[in-house]
Structure 1
Amino acid sequence: MERPLIYDVMIYFKMIRPGTLAACISPVMIGLSVASHSVRIDILLAVLTLLTACSIQIMSNLVNDYFDFKKGNDKEGRLGPARAVSLGLVSVQTLLRFIFFYTFLSILGGIALVWVGGIPILLIGVSALIFAVLYSATSKSLSHLGIADIFVLLYYGPLATLGTTYLQTMQFSLTSLLWGIGCGVISIAVLVVNNVRDYEQDKEHGKKTLIVRLGLGFGRIYYILLILLPVLMLFVFATYWQGIFQGIIGIILIALFLHSKGRAYNLVLILTGVYNLFFTLNLVLI
């Protein structure tokens, strides 16, 4: 008996990990907000920027799933959400087709953006694609070496905000750089939750994340600092009300993180992504 089409659609939708898209949507929205203070936003260009960023993120997610499956990281006892390919819901061939499809979309969108923005956008785009693959593609991948944090900060923060603002204004902006750092820091916090949750499994598989290298105690302190830094930035560079609003949400999030164990970290992972969206809305709407 064939599966209903809606069943396959839901599997494919879950496979692209829509919950991770906050990490690429937030810096683009902030970059557009900064640009809107000096020029009228080109809506078509803005949408293209957003779709290209999302395509790169989805491609990165799928590449990560593929290599985790090939390396045997999706074994029984996994604390993170089960992946469709490891459950047998999607074949490896289908997963590869999705990878090629989103890679094609990323390159196509990137070419259009380079046509507008020139060499700076070419450098950001090509390096972003390379980062997306190197994050998990080899035995010496960034995620295994414990150096992913700096790349997450750059590509989910300043490079994304600066590139977005540049496409609209043809100028680089210090304001875009500043708030991009806030965005990138929160994306590192998402990575930290993931690595704290997977601490034992990562040690077993020889995955030398920063948390494996420095310990769970470091991971908890690291997460707290990453969540509070954007709050401090809002107090210093924006308004007290923005800082208070972000701070209340941040304290609740920290409490949840410190009291979580095992699969409970999956909720904190999602909420940390939402925290990034709150940071973005805090800047854009208030």
Structure 2
Amino acid sequence: MNMKIQYWIYAARIYTLPLSFSGITLSFVISRNRTNVDFSVYFLCVLTALLLQILANFSNDYGDSISGVDNFQRIGPKRTIQYGFISLSEMKKAIYIFSVLSSISGLLLLYKTILWNSFFTFFIYFIGIFICIYSSIKYSVGPHPYGYKVGMGDLSVMIFFGILSVVGSYFLYTQTLSMDIFLLSLSIGFLNIGVLNVNNMRDLDNDSKSGKYTIPVWLGIKYAKLYHICIILTSIFLGACFIFLNKKNNKVIYQWFFFIFIVIFLILHIKRIIFIKENKLFNLELKKLIVLILLYGFSIEIGFIL
């Protein structure tokens, strides 16, 4: 029984889960600095995002196993269905369960925030919840998974891990929209696309043989690395724009100091990506970039807290 739980934890890909709440936490800290925000709203945002992320990871394990993308030539971490740790039927049940849990958590979030304020806004978010659930599953499940089409995975990451994560949660916290928050959401979104791109560069050869047409498969490794450089630099530029728009004359040195400190590590990340020769070495950079995204958000949060 304990071993089975271990397999489910492994299938949830714990190391990827911080990506689901980093943008939500960042917008929460900024919102708290601008207005009063109920902590329970933040908790429900994080819970919903985590459930959706686990749903996506389970669906990815299920879909890639059926399509044959998960095979023994794959360089990435072991997949639970591929190695027989979890059966297809068990994973299918888990996908149903987490779909229901995500729905319940999302509806509780709406009830807590905008149910009584605006029917139109409630309706938009209500539809949005089910689009998120549908997209989490259909990324890699079904006869035509959109994650297997050029650029669609990158676009979905920008929408769900960038714009919706930051702007969507910010609106729930404050009931307002802001251009600087939108720029920040794009910055976080591009960093998350970077994670996907590192993952896809690692799996380029196997994806190409299996019919999964990611950006690296389309561009080739040389131009995929150039694409990665553009992603990270664009994110840094947008983050700098956000800090400039929110500069505090008596604290501006702290705002820039923490931001630039993390940017140095992002530049070093770019350098390492450029000189990687073996695809398996992308695994370490993938995990490092996830940590850097957390620290990147934290560096901006510190500028608001101090």
**Same fold by TM-score, threshold 0.5 exceeded?**
yes
- For residue 227 of structure 1, report the CA deviation from its aligned partner: 1.8
Q: Which amino acid aligns with 1:220?
A: K
User: Contact 1:23–1:273 at 8 Å: present in 2 too?
Assistant: yes
- Greater CA deviation, 226-235 or 153-162? 226-235
- For residue 43 of structure 1, report the CA deviation from its aligned partner: 1.2
Aligned counterpart for 1:53 among listed residues 41, 49, 53:
49
Taking the aligned partners of 1:98 and 1:140, their CA distance within structure 2 comes to 21
Q: After TM superposition, list the pairs within 5 Å mapping 1:62-141 onto structure 2.
A: 62-115=58-111, 116-117=113-114, 118-141=122-145
The DSSP-based 3-state class of the residue aligned with 1:85 is coil
Taking the aligned partners of 2:144 and 2:33, their CA distance within structure 1 comes to 43
Taking the aligned partners of 1:211 and 1:281, their CA distance within structure 2 comes to 30
- Greater CA deviation, 129-138 or 239-248? 239-248
Aligned counterpart for 1:279 among listed residues 259, 284, 296:
296
Taking the aligned partners of 2:31 and 2:259, their CA distance within structure 1 comes to 22
- For residue 187 of structure 1, report the CA deviation from its aligned partner: 0.8
Q: Which amino acid aligns with 1:248?
A: I
- For residue 41 of structure 1, report the CA deviation from its aligned partner: 2.1
Taking the aligned partners of 1:88 and 1:220, their CA distance within structure 2 comes to 34
User: Contact 1:182–1:233 at 8 Å: present in 2 too?
Assistant: yes
Gaps of 5+ in 2: 115-121, 244-254
Aligned counterpart for 1:162 among listed residues 139, 159, 167:
167
Aligned length: 282
Q: Which amino acid aligns with 2:167?
A: L
User: Contact 2:262–2:296 at 8 Å: present in 1 too?
Assistant: yes
Match of 1:31 in 2: 27
Determine whether 1:231 maps to 2:223: no
- For residue 11 of structure 1, report the CA deviation from its aligned partner: 1.7
Distance of aligned partners of 1:180 and 1:251 in 2 relative to their CA distance in 1, 3 Å threshold: same
Q: Which amino acid aligns with 1:134?
A: K
What TM-score do the two structures reach when normalised by structure 1? 0.92
User: Contact 2:184–2:242 at 8 Å: present in 1 too?
Assistant: no
Q: Deviations over 1:169-215 (max 9, x none)?
A: 11222232121111110110011111111111111112121221122
Taking the aligned partners of 2:184 and 2:127, their CA distance within structure 1 comes to 21
Taking the aligned partners of 1:129 and 1:240, their CA distance within structure 2 comes to 38
- Greater CA deviation, 226-235 or 216-225? 226-235
User: Contact 1:234–1:242 at 8 Å: present in 2 too?
Assistant: no
Q: CA RMSD in A?
A: 1.7
Q: After TM superposition, list the pairs within 5 Å mapping 1:135-154 onto structure 2.
A: 135-146=139-150, 147-154=152-159
What TM-score do the two structures reach when normalised by structure 2? 0.87
